[in-house]
Structure 1
Amino acid sequence: MPVDSNTSYQSPTDRVEAWVDAATLHIRFNNPARHNALSVDMWQAIPPLLTQAEKDDAIRLVAFSGAGEKAFVSGADISQFEDMRAAREAVTFYEAMAEEALMSIYHCAKPTLAAIRGYCIGGGVNVAISCDIRIAADDAVFAIPAARLGLGYRYSALKNLVDLIGVGAAKDLFFTARRINAQEAKSLGLVSRIAPPAALEALLAEYTDAIAANAPLTVHAGKRIIAEILKPSPDLDRELCQTLIRNCFESEDYAEGRRAFMEKRKPVFKGK
């Protein structure tokens, strides 16, 4: 198991909360008056927190959630649209800021998970599909309403959606802007598992405990190799994949895993 984190995680805004529990950095969107709609300061809070987590050997997982019982994230804070998206320069700034936040999640070296309850709309879906894993309460509601607002939708968000649920399902959700429940989201592959609202915390604990107990070098290598698999064939870095695999086999953790298996005990991985 990892040692306790010695890193202090301080969010730059009260509308994003950050704390460490065992080997997990929790990031919670805290704008319940607006159903956790993402304001500018909330977008900007994400990259520096993830940068810290990547440097912290004690952190094995970053888990995102929403404050309260109504929403994970209900979208972008449209009260800021007139100021932030009305003019060409403002659009450019806003889109670059949101893209940086989402890509910081997508490219985070540590595994990321979205624990979703209630509304997961627009920008909330983008945050969720930027994560590696998505779990949801069975009261969750998902939608991508861009077509109802006349917004241009960024390439990276649509690519993530297509990669996750396929072309047909992505077109269905995007063209209609319809809302779907947690059961349909699971059937599409948008979320991995669902649970009653009262059991979502226990389901999250399954993931935090399991990932904390597993070999971090192997998890890291798997995440990097999957990212290579998703690239177009000419851009695939096979040498990197082989290096990542070799590093696992040459690690102290691999030796510990073999010993633990032979001794019929749980391994104690150190990420070395």
Structure 2
Amino acid sequence: MTSETYSQPGTARGQGTRWNKVPEVTAFFWVIKILCTTVGETAADFLNGQLGLGLTGTSLVMSLLLVVALVVQFRADSYRPVLYWLVVVLVSVVGTLISDNLTDNLGVPLEVTTAVFAVALAVVFVAWFRSERTLSIHSINTVRREAFYWAAVLFTFALGTAAGDLVAERLSLGYWLAAVLFALAIGAVWLAHSALGLNAVWSFWIAYVLTRPLGASLGDYLSQPSDDGGLGLGTVVTSALFLLVILALVVYLTVTRKDVTPQEELSRPAA
């Protein structure tokens, strides 16, 4: 148990709760995360292109929806799968749009956006650790820690978008080979953690960044026309298909509570 004051759900805002506000990192977590990143890519393309909102209009609408969802998430007194993953989907879309706006609307080179987002993410981690003395995702149980958590998540999506686009542009791999490359990179992180002792916190966040370009590559492969190297399913079908799978998994987790952090984890000192 950390030095924070823990309290029952429903206590005044600003106090901690004894419940973790984010899910346990399981295989379900990574599957849903990758699906969310795919939706972030295809949904942004759909709203920007087929609905005619444009990049600026799409960014404004999705940012507003994200703010509303975050307010509800912060007011919740415990982890709720539907709410949590809704926020992740919206963060995925907004993170993609932030990177796209800088590159497409303002003409900022991908090298610059990748570096800027990497620095911004590092600043969040430094501020988080200096404030809380921990980066543990097993103890997201105060408003301040949750704010740091979601700021980190947003910048991982923006960084993953910029870095993924940079790699795809420089190497011209195509969607399928790009997906294989990022999957191998995630596998290397897992190997470094399990066999070489890479710190669990850093392993988690590195993999979290890499899932963004992995999911985007999968989404583009499924949605883009065959002439461009895709399967031609379109953004509507791809987005709807992945959203249905996400919904099914989230409902399953809501019922089974398989991704709720065990009480023994909550009672350990935060790392």
Normalising by structure 2, report the TM-score. 0.29
Higher relative contact order (CA 8 A, sep 6+): 2
Name the one with the larger helix percent.
2
Normalising by structure 1, report the TM-score. 0.29
Name the one with the larger strand percent.
1
